Amino acid sequence: MADKPKLSMYWAASCGGCEVALVNLNEKILDVDAAFDFMFCPCLIDTKYKDIEALPDTSIAITLFNGAIRTSENEEMAHLLRKKSQVLIAFGSCAYEGCIPGLANLSKKEDIMRAVYLDNPSTPNPEGIVPRPETVVPEGTLHIPVFFDRVRTLADVVDVDYFIPGCPPEPHQIWNVVEAVVQGKPLPPKGSVIGAGMKSVCEECERKKQDKKIKAFRRTYEFIPDREQCLLEQGLICMGIATRDGCGALCPKVNMPCTGCYGPPEGVLDQGGKMVGALGSILDIGDVKGMKEEEIDRRIDALLESIPDFAGTFYKYSLPGSILKGRR
């Protein structure tokens, strides 16, 4: 085992789905075990932080770091694992772009604490206590991680070698990366997105596509979409046109719109901006000949008002990693 390269996996602000995705390699997880000394993964292995601190620098061959940077502990571990790893990979959408935790960037820290600990009907808290970094008790001072003002991506705090997108990444794409490393295949230039495609989900979606003209937006609960026609053409906001391929268009295959978890396609700087631009070119408000400007504006507003949550729709997975960063 001492001769095998070391593999580690760490979770920061995340849900645990990335660990499940790794286990979903099924029998291939035995090949991973044969090729690596899988020596650090907090939800699977009881390796302590002090054990990682004691390792020589760059002694870990690969670290799969999943989760966004929400607390001081997340940031501390990011720096530690960067120091101890030869290759640090932002694994999954949370580490890559901030993902669902990043939507909290639209709220102040104080508002989040109030919603979770004070105004939450399911959390009994008659004394109105909220977490704080230091608490003095008879036995001494207790310390917990600092809750930062905003969520950041892994690349915001340390140098990242590669990015694997997805919420979570698809097991076949994880295996493609692992297999390349095990077989000594050359990896793309540092900073590249790996374990994904280069185009958009629309490219691998088998639905029939025609000229897109949207007269109204609809929600998934309002009707049963046609299983062959493009979902966007049916009025569902499908993010496939602004999302990197590589997942196999799994959501459209089961009659659900893509929500964008693989991030922007190659060459696209801002996923939400790409989607808004695409929608702006296909909205159909009818014949505007002779129509007053006020009426045109009213029809456009009526269409846009049918979208209930702009940030949660266009930046569901990418807000901290976007141009906006989630700041008001």
Same domain, 113 and 96: no
For 212-233, how does the pLDDT look when each residue is reduced to its tens digit (9 = 90+)? 888 889 999 999 999 999 999 9
Q: Examine the domain organization and report whether 87 and 176 are in the same domain.
A: yes
Pair 29, 87 in one domain: yes
Would you say 9 and 64 are in contact if contact means Cβ atoms under 8 Å apart? yes
Rounded to an integer, the average pLDDT of 157-173 is 95
Residues 144 and 250 reside in one and the same domain:
no
Mean pLDDT for the chain overall: 92
Note whether 39 and 19 are same-domain residues: yes
For 32-59, what is each residue's pLDDT tens digit? 989 999 999 998 889 999 999 999 999 9
Residue among 215, 222, 162 at smallest CA distance from 187:
162
- Reported confidence tier of residue 91, pLDDT bands at 50, 70, 90: very high
Q: Which residues of 96-106 are buried (b: 16+ CB within 10 A; e: fewer)?
A: bbbbbbbbbbb
176 and 62 part of one domain: yes
48 within domain boundaries: yes
Do residue 15 and residue 123 come from a single domain?
no
Task: Identify whether 277 is part of a domain.
Answer: yes
Best CA proximity match to 72, nearest among 28, 18, 134? 134
pLDDT, tens only, 4-22 = 999 999 999 999 999 999 9
- CA 40 to chain centroid, in Å, comes to 22
The count of domains in the chain is: 3
Task: Please give the structure tokens belonging to residue 112.
Answer: 């989040």
Q: Does residue 205 belong to any structural domain of this protein?
A: yes
Q: How far apart are CA 83 and CA 166, in angstroms?
A: 25
- Residue 316: CB atoms within 10 A of its CB come to 22
pLDDT attached to residue 299: 86
Asked whether residue 65 falls in the same domain as residue 117, the answer is no
Q: Are residues 118 and 244 in the same domain?
A: no
> Considering the domain boundaries, does residue 34 fall inside one?
yes
Domain boundaries, position 293:
201-314
- What φ, ψ does residue 267 adopt, rounded to 5°? 90, -5
Q: What is the pLDDT of residue 56?
A: 97
Confirm whether 190 is domain-assigned: no
pLDDT at 161: 96
The pLDDT assigned to 2 comes to: 57
> Which structure tokens are listed for 138?
């008879």
- Collect all residues with Cβ–Cβ distance below 8 Å to 115 and sequence separation of at least 6: 107
* Other CB atoms within 10 Å distance of the CB of residue 279: 20
**167-211 pLDDT tens trace:** 999 998 999 888 888 888 888 999 999 999 999 999 999 999 998
194 is a domain residue = no
Structure tokens at 106: 């639209």
Question: Do 293 and 160 share a domain, yes or no?
Answer: no
The domain spanning residue 90 has which CATH number? Answer: 3.40.50.700
Same-domain pairing of 61 and 43: yes
- For residue 134, the model assigns a pLDDT of 94
Residue 26 sits in the same domain as residue 89 = yes
Please, which pLDDT band fits residue 284 given cuts at 50, 70 and 90? confident
DSSP classification of residue 115: I
pLDDT of residue 328 exceeding 80 = no
How many other C-beta atoms can be found within 10 angstroms of the C-beta atom of residue 49?
13
Q: How far is CA 42 from CA 49, 247, 270, in A?
A: 9, 27, 33
- The reply to whether 188 falls in a domain is no
Say whether pLDDT at 139 is over 80.
yes
User: Does some domain include residue 196?
Assistant: no
